[in-house]
Amino acid sequence: MSSIEQLFWHPVCDARQVQEDPLPVKLLDQSLVLWRNQNGVVCGLFDRCPHRGARLSLGRICQGQLQCAYHGWTFEGQGQCTRVPALPSFNPGQAQQAKAVAVQERMGLVWVCMDAARTAQAIWPTFAAEWNASMRKFNAGPYEVATSAPRVVENFLDMSHFSFVHDGWLGQAGHSEIPEIHLEESDTGFKVTNAQVWQPNTSALATQGGMVTYTYEVMHPYSAVLTKIPDAQSGVPPGYEESIIVLILPISPDSCRVWFRMAVADFDADVEELLAFQDKIFSQDKPVLESQLPRLLPLGAGVESNVASDKASVAYRRFLQKLAVTFGVC
């Protein structure tokens, strides 16, 4: 049986973390094991041996295959058992097979779809700027956060906290009003276009405050893309814009790991400076995020109060409801 969350691709770790040794990771409350085979391809299995239930991640890699630490059953990347050392002439079959997940490397991260049989239907968070060669890409994070993935996405979509949580950075006391936003909903998600805010310090490249046009797009339960276009007044290079996609590993219903994939229209910018800016902004969000109760995002009417300036959050909650997402919500 598979839940809707298993039909999405989820980031699980930085690609460089997966070397030849078995690496345990947790996704959607399930334990998985990853390793890199002799061809450099990342393989992934549920972290449970079909023989006696031992953790496969305690094992070792022999010629690109994972050997269980308990009785040495050995598995190739699709889960096929190739060897039962106690019975050298035995030809292992389906009953000896470990359960595989689908794995891909993208955006410097390893991604897993748990429903390996249905990856053709599985959805990626898409990110138009990722394929734009005139933008420079890099990842900020990961950040460990003691809350649900949906609380993090909702915070990413929320502009009315800027003048409080990011006072002097993305907002300023006295500039709290959020103009009416334009929302377009479709079968696959929603978009917020042309949201205008005044920011004292829009990015690491800004030299002074200015108006910024924000666009948001959501098409994945645990991800959202933001595009920021600051006006020239803020001192950013001409034609500068940036896109940020929030990518989240839902570890348990109320804990997650967060990356921001950034694309900036400037190859001269100092990446360290841009990363430090992102770290600073997220360090302001994190204590508030971890204080929110319940940690699971409440979808039911009347549990939390929504006002007109929460339009994007309300659309996100509606989107999760429509998808019938159950992990990280209540």
List 7, 46, 70, 252, residue binding ligand FES (CB under 6 A)? 70
Asked whether position 68 contacts ligand FES by CB under 6 A, the answer is yes
Contact residues for Fe ion, defined by CB under 5 A = 285
Distances (CA, A) of 267 to 132, 163, 189, 263, 264: 13, 30, 31, 10, 8
The region, left, alpha or beta by phi > 0 then psi within -120 to 50, assigned to residue 172 is beta
Asked whether position 62 contacts ligand FES by CB under 6 A, the answer is no
| Residue of 113, 92, 117 lying closest to 102 (CA atoms) | 113
List 26, 60, 71, 136, residue binding ligand FES (CB under 6 A)? 71
Decide which of ligand FES, Fe ion, none touches 285; Cβ closer than 5 to 8 Å per partner kind.
Answer: Fe ion
- For residues 47 and 285, which CB has a smaller minimum distance to Fe ion in the complex? 285
Distances (CA, A) of 178 to 140, 182, 194: 27, 12, 12
Decide which of Fe ion, ligand FES, none touches 73; Cβ closer than 5 to 8 Å per partner kind.
Answer: ligand FES
Chain position whose Cβ is nearest to Fe ion: 285
Q: Are 27 and 39 in contact (CB under 8 A)?
A: no
The region, left, alpha or beta by phi > 0 then psi within -120 to 50, assigned to residue 42 is beta
Only one of the segments 46-54, 187-195, 208-216, 317-325 lies at the binding site for ligand FES (rule: CB under 6 A); that segment is 46-54
List 27, 49, 81, 159, residue binding ligand FES (CB under 6 A)? 49
List 26, 51, 60, 175, residue binding ligand FES (CB under 6 A)? 51
Asked whether position 60 contacts ligand FES by CB under 6 A, the answer is no
Only one of the segments 23-31, 66-74, 130-138, 252-260 lies at the binding site for ligand FES (rule: CB under 6 A); that segment is 66-74
Residue 61 neighbours by CB under 8 Å, 6+ apart: 20, 21, 22, 35, 37, 67
Alpha helices in the chain (DSSP H): 149-157, 162-165, 271-291, 311-323
Only one of the segments 51-59, 135-143, 145-153, 264-272 lies at the binding site for ligand FES (rule: CB under 6 A); that segment is 51-59
**DSSP class of 50:** T
Instruction: Provide the CB-side half-sphere exposure for 80 (13 A, CA).
Output: 7
- For residues 49 and 212, which CB has a smaller minimum distance to ligand FES in the complex? 49
Binding residues for ligand FES (CB under 6 A): 49, 51-52, 54, 68, 70-73
